Chains A and B, each alone.
Chain A
Amino acid sequence: MKKVFLSLFIIAPLLLAASIFLLPDASFSPDENRMLKTAADIRGDVLSGDFQTDLEKYLSDQFPMRAALKSAENTVRTVLGANELGGAYVGNGGRLFQKITDEEIDKAAIIRFAERVESFAKESGVPVYAMPVPSAGAALDGELPYGAPFYDFDGLLHELSAAMPSVKTINLKKSLGASADNYYLTDHHWTFDGVLAAYLEWKSAHGEGQNTSGGETITVEVLTLCENFHGTLYSKALLPQTPFDAIKTLAVKGNIKVTADGAEVSFYDLSALEGKDKYNVFQGGNHGIVIIENPDAANKRTLVIIKDSFANSFVPMLVGDFSKIVMLDDRYMLGDALTLTASYAPDEVLVLKEIIN
Chain B
Amino acid sequence: MVFSSAVFLLIFLPVFLTVYYLLPFKIKNAWLLLASLVFYAWGEPVYVFLMMGSIAVNYFAGLLLSRFAGHRAAMRALLTVSVAVHVGALFFFKYSDFLISAINGSFGAGLRLMGLALPIGISFYTFQALSYVIDVYRGKVSAQKNLIDFGAYISMFPQLIAGPIVRYSDVAARLRERSFDADRAFCGILRFCVGLGKKVLLANSLGAFWEEISAAGGAPAMTTLIGAVCFSLQIYFDFSGYSDMAIGIGRMLGFEFSENFNYPYMAKSITDFWRRWHISLGSWFREYVYIPLGGSRKGLPRQILNLLIVWALTGIWHGAGWNFLFWGLYFFVLLTIEKICAGRVRLPGAAKRIYTLVAVLVSWIIFATPDIGAAGNMIGNLFGANGFANAGTLYYLRNCSVLLAIGLLFSTNIVRRLLRRLAPGKAKSAVLECAAVLLYALSLIMVINSAYNPFLYFRF
| Residue positions of A touching B, CB distance < 8 A | 1-3, 5-6, 9-11, 13-14, 16-17, 20, 46-49, 52, 55-56, 59-60, 63, 66, 69-70, 72-73, 80-84, 101-103, 145-149
Interface size on B, residues (CB 8 A): 46
B-side contacts of A5, CB under 8 Å: 186, 189, 433
B283 contacts the other chain (Cβ, under 8 Å)?
A: no
Query: B9 on the interface (CB 8 Å rule)?
Result: yes
B99 within 8 A of A: no
What residue in chain B is nearest A102 (Cβ atoms)? B216
B5 x A56 contact (CB < 8 A): yes
> A9-B189, A56-B6, A146-B391 in contact; A81/B399 too (CB < 8 A)?
yes
Find A60's partner among B6, B390, B403 (CB 8 Å cutoff).
B6
By the criterion CB–CB under 8 Å, are A59 and B390 in contact?
A: no
Using A6-B252, A46-B45 as known contacts, list a sample of 12 further A-B pairs with CB atoms less than 8 Å apart, ordered by residue number in A.
A6-B182, A13-B11, A14-B15, A49-B45, A52-B43, A55-B7, A60-B449, A72-B445, A81-B402, A83-B398, A145-B395, A146-B391
Known contacts A66-B449, A80-B402; A6/B46 CB under 8 A: no
Whole-angstrom distance between the alpha carbons of A278 and B17 in the complex?
A: 48
Q: A60-B448, A103-B216, A147-B390 are in contact. Are A13 and B13 (CB under 8 A)?
A: yes
Q: Once the chains bind, are A149 and B395 in contact (CB under 8 Å)?
A: yes
A14 contacts across to B, CB distance below 8 A: 10-11, 14-15, 18
Could you say which residues of chain B place their CB within 8 Å of the CB of A20?
10
* Chain A: minimal CB distance from B244 (Å): 15
Does the CB pair B393–A2 fall under 8 Å?
no
**B15 — which chain A residues lie within 8 A by C-beta?**
14
Interface string of B40-64 (1 = CB under 8 A from A): 0011011000000000000000000
* A59–B6 alpha-carbon span in the complex (Å): 6
> B394–A147 contact, CB under 8 A?
yes
**Given the contacts A49-B45, A146-B395, A147-B392, A2 and B7 also touching, CB distance less than 8 Å:** no
Residues of A within 8 A of B396 (CB): 147
For A46, the chain B residues whose CB sits under 8 A away are 45
| Cα separation A47 to B399 with both chains bound (whole Å) | 41
Partner among B14, B183, B252, B401 whose Cβ is within 8 Å of the Cβ of A13: B14
For the residues of A in contact with B, the DSSP-based class is helix
CB closest chain-A residue, reference B15: A14
Interface residues of B in 390-440 (CB under 8 A from A): 390-396, 398-403, 429, 433, 440
B334 within 8 Å of A by Cβ?
Answer: no
> CA A132 – CA B216 in complex, angstroms?
24
Any A CB within 8 A of the CB of B215: yes
How many whole Å from A101's CB to the nearest CB in chain B?
A: 7
CB neighbours (8 Å) of A49 from chain B are: 43, 45
Q: List 12 A-B contacts (CB under 8 A).
A: A1-B429, A6-B182, A9-B189, A13-B13, A55-B7, A60-B447, A73-B449, A83-B399, A84-B399, A101-B216, A147-B390, A149-B212
Q: A16 vs B210: C-alpha distance in the bound complex, in angstroms? A: 33
* Shortest Cβ gap from A320 to chain B (Å): 44
Q: CB-CB < 8 A to B216: which residues of A?
A: 101-103, 149
Q: Considering only CB atoms, which chain B residue lies closest to A58 in the complex?
A: B6
* Cβ contact of B448, chosen from A11, A17, A66, cutoff 8 A: A66
Q: Which B residues form the contact surface with A (CB < 8 A)? A: 1, 5-7, 9-11, 13-15, 17-18, 42-43, 45-46, 182-183, 185-186, 189, 212, 215-216, 252, 390-396, 398-403, 429, 433, 440, 445-449
Give Cα distance in the complex from A103 to B213, angstroms.
11
Interface of chain B: mostly helix, strand, loop or mixed: helix
Residue of A2, A6, A17, A103 near B11 (CB, 8 A) is A17
CB pair B391–A2 under 8 Å, yes or no, is no
Q: How far is B448's CA from A59's CA once the two chains are assembled, in angstroms?
A: 8
State how many angstroms separate the Cβ of A12 from the closest Cβ of chain B.
8
In contact, B45 and A6 (Cβ under 8 angstroms):
no
Known A-B contacts A6-B185, A10-B18; A149 and B449 likewise in contact (beta carbons under 8 Å) = no
| Residue contact A11 to B14, C-beta cutoff 8 Å | yes
Flag if A147 contacts B185 (CB, 8 Å): no
User: Which B residues touch A55, using CB under 8 A?
Assistant: 7
Please report the C-alpha to C-alpha distance between residue A5 and residue B445 in the assembled complex, in whole angstroms: 20
Give the nearest-CB partner of B5 in chain A: A56
Chain A residues with CB under 8 A of B5: 56
CB distance from B436 to the nearest CB of A (A): 8
Does B182 lie within 8 Å of A3, measured CB to CB?
Answer: yes
Residues of B within 8 A of A11 (CB): 14
Question: Could you tell me the distance between the alpha carbons of A174 and B435 in the complex, rounded to whole angstroms?
Answer: 53
In the complex, the answer to whether A73 meets B398 with C-beta atoms within 8 Å is no
Smallest CB gap from A238: residue in B: B449
Q: Is the CB of A148 within 8 A of B395?
A: yes
CB of B48 to closest CB in A, whole Å: 11
Given the complex, which residues of A lie within 8 Å of B42, measured CB to CB? 52
- In the assembled complex, the CB of B116 is this many whole angstroms from the nearest CB of chain A, namely 16
Task: List the B side residues contacting A60 at CB < 8 Å.
Answer: 6, 447-449
Contact assessment for B186 and A6 in the assembled complex, using a CB-CB cutoff below 8 Å:
yes
Report the bound CA distance from A102 to B215 in whole Å.
10
Q: Chain A residues near B1: list those with CB within 8 A.
A: 52
Contact: B429 with A47, CB < 8 Å? no
Choose from A2, A48, A66 the contact partner of B183 (Cβ within 8 Å). Answer: A2
**Known interface pairs A83-B398, A147-B392, A147-B394. Does A52 touch B14 (Cβ–Cβ under 8 Å)?**
no
A147 touches B395 (CB 8 A): yes
Measured between beta carbons, the chain B residues less than 8 angstroms from A70 are 449
Known contacts A2-B183, A17-B11, A66-B449; A47/B45 CB under 8 A: yes
Minimum distance in angstroms from B127 CB to a CB of chain A: 26
**Which B-chain residue is minimally distant from A144 (CB atoms)?**
B395
Report the separation of the CA atoms of residues A16 and B6 in the bound assembly, to the nearest whole angstrom.
11
Known contacts A13-B13, A14-B15, A146 near B394 by CB under 8 Å: yes
